[in-house]
Amino acid sequence: MSKSLPEQTRTPAPAGVFTLVITGAPYSSQAPSTALHFARAALAANKRIDRVFLYGDGVHLASSLSAPPSDELNLSEAWAAFLTENSIPGVACIASALRRGLVNEAEMHRYELSASNLREPFEIAGLGEWVDSAASESRILYFHKGG
Amino acid sequence: MSTLIIIDQSPYGSWEGREALDMAFSLAAFDQPVSLLFCGAGVNWLRKGQDAGKIQQKSIERNLAAAPVFGVEALFADRRACDQYGLAGTDLLDHVSITDVGPDFTGRFDHVAFAG
Amino acid sequence: MITFRTLHILNKSPAHGRYSLCLSAIGPEDGLLLTENGVLAVTQPLGISTERCFALAPDLEARGLSAQISRNQAVSFDDMVDLTASADNVISW
């Protein structure tokens, strides 16, 4: 930062790898939008994002069926494009996703559901993906609903 | 890397608390150190005598009683919140430690997270 | 650049229960970053020194609050990346 700030007391190595966890749903919270702005700024600062994990209501971001009015940002589409362009894995928690009706083709067949609606390049996986980040050097940032 | 999962939502009325518990159990299942802190309305998770059958939910009391068995290191309850909701030590589930939440407490953990 | 022990990111308005919980957890070596509805905190007494308190400029602007805070405290997403990368720990409330 270019601002004049108080003298520093410690100089640990700054975090180089981030995991972003989004728990706020699009259109009911600002979380996916704030997270996307942060993610773009992080890559511009040469940070790496090892994965984006959707949890709780955040899984709605991975829906291929959201159709907001044409003068509003399509957050699912914007996130999907960002993940694809930058080859960042986007993972929706399977337990959160199945409860909320967000399924890929494999889960559609397994549970004999009438349709699947997971948007590419999002994947569905367990909380183990988040545990993997927690056990690594990644800095985990959470984007919850506001209120 | 030690994790503190904080639950500040009351039980049964929202899913956030259950999903927080899933996070804690997942860390524990992979042998990662994790503790739970209940504060705000979240302390009501810790009240003895819950029976959620008539609202078609699974009792949380049983899940929480199993937390130490699954490897969750400690269950903490915020003292102010316990006072606010009329919870004395004897009203709480076993294995719960009452604590004062402040920078000294949260500073003991490398990673502090809410489920939502 | 100042290095905080814990950077607290607060996106809740003063009406939310987690707002006061966050403020009570801020230690003397910590920093506070207000985002989303959290920027409404600039209208309230916070009891934290201005050099440890920041607010996300786009969220201030959106809510008509840019004039309520000094220019040094209003930060960009680039600054947010620096703040979160350099703190020892980050808590998102």
Q: Which of residues 15-44 of C touch A (CB under 8 A)?
A: 15-16, 29, 35-38
- Written as six digits, the tokens of A22 are 């989004």
Nearest CA distance, C83 vs chain B (angstrom): 16
Alpha carbons C8 and C87: distance in angstroms, whole number: 10
Q: In this structure, what DSSP letter does residue C49 have?
A: -
ipTM over 0.90: yes
In CATH terms, C6-92 corresponds, of 3.40.1260.10, 3.40.1160.10, 3.30.465.10, 3.40.50.300, to: 3.40.1260.10
Let me know: does B43 contact B85? Beta carbons within 8 Å.
yes
pLDDT classification of C39: cutoffs 50, 70, 90: very high
Q: Which pLDDT value is given to residue A5? A: 46
Residue C31 pairs in a beta bridge with C7
Decide if A82 touches C, using CB distance below 8 A: no
Which chain C residue has its CA at the smallest distance from A142's CA? C92
Mean pLDDT of A15-26: 97
Contacts of B114 in chain C (CB under 8 A): 18, 92-93
For chain A, list the domains and their CATH numbers.
17-63+73-143 (3.40.1260.10)
Contact (CB<8Å) B40/C17: yes
Label residue B1 by pLDDT band (50, 70, 90): confident
d(CA C36, CA C41): 10
pTM: 0.95
Q: What pLDDT score was predicted for residue C47?
A: 87
For B35, the token pair is 């503790």
- Across the range A117-126, mean pLDDT stands at 98
Q: Count Cβ neighbours within 10 Å for each residue of C36-66 and write b for 16 or more, e otherwise.
A: bbbbbbbeeebebeeebbbbbbbbbeebebb
What is the C-alpha to C-alpha distance for residues C83 and C4, in angstroms, rounded to an integer?
8
Location of structure tokens 């080859």: A87
Lowest mean pLDDT among A51-65, A117-131, B45-59, C9-23: B45-59
pLDDT at C14 exceeding the cut of 90:
yes
**C30 at B interface, C-beta within 8 A:** yes
Half-sphere exposure for A51 (CA within 13 Å, toward CB) = 24
Contacts of A73 in chain C (CB under 8 A): none
The shortest C-alpha distance from C62 to chain A (Å) reads 12
Residue B5: what are its φ and ψ, rounded to 5°? -100, 125
* Eight-state DSSP code of residue A29: B
* Average pLDDT of every residue of chain A: 93
pLDDT category at A6 given cuts 50, 70, 90 is: very low
C-alpha to C-alpha distance for B49 and C37, rounded to whole angstroms: 37
* Rounded percentage of chain A residues whose pLDDT exceeds 90: 89
Q: Which residue intervals of B1-116 are DSSP H helices?
A: 16-29, 60-65, 79-84, 103-106
* Strand residues in chain B grouped as ranges (E): 3-7, 34-38, 74-78, 96-99, 111-114
- What's the pLDDT band for B58 if we cut at 50, 70, 90? confident
DSSP 3-state of A38: helix
Residue A140: φ, ψ to 5°: -95, 125
Contact state of B102 with C30 under an 8 Å Cβ cutoff? no
A interface with B, Cβ–Cβ < 8 A, is 21, 23-24, 55-58, 95-96, 99, 126-128, 130-131, 134-135, 140, 142, 144-145
Instruction: Please compute, for residue B72, the number of CA atoms within 13 A of its CA located in the half-sphere on the CB side.
Output: 23
Q: Let me know: does A143 contact A37? Beta carbons within 8 Å.
A: no
Q: What is the pLDDT of residue B26?
A: 97
Q: What is the pLDDT of residue A33?
A: 98
Lowest mean pLDDT among A10-19, A55-64, C26-35, C84-93: A10-19
Q: Does any CB of chain B come closer than 8 Å to the CB of residue C18?
A: yes
In chain C, where the domains are located: 6-92
Residues of chain A in contact with residue B30, where contact means CB-CB under 8 angstroms, are 128, 131, 135
Dig out the tokens for A64 from the structure: 């291929």
- Residues of B whose CB is below 8 A from A142: 113-114
**Chains with at least 3 CB pairs less than 8 angstroms from chain A:** B, C
- CB nearest A134 (choices: B22, B32, B114): B32
* Mean pLDDT over each residue of chain C, to the nearest integer: 95
Quote the radius of gyration of chain B (alpha carbons, Å).
13
Task: Classify A49 as helix, strand or coil.
Answer: strand
Judge whether residue A9 has pLDDT over 60.
no
Which whole number is the average pLDDT over B49-73?
A: 91
Is residue A61 exposed (0-12), middle (13-18) or buried (19+ Cβ within 10 Å)? buried
Of C21, C26, C30, the CB nearest to B8: C21
Average pLDDT over residues B30-54: 95
Q: Measured on CA atoms in the order B76, A125, A52, A74, is the torsion positive or negative?
A: negative
pLDDT at residue C1, as a whole number:
58
The residue with greater pLDDT, C46 or A87, is A87
Residue C2: predicted pLDDT: 76
CB C14 within 8 A of CB C45: no
- What gap in Å lies between CA A145 and CA B19, rounded to an integer? 15
Q: Which domains, and CATH codes, for chain B?
A: 3-114 (3.40.1260.10)
The answer, yes or no, to whether residue B72 has pLDDT greater than 80, is yes
pLDDT (0 to 100) of residue B60: 86
Cα A47 to the chain's mean position, in Å?
Answer: 16
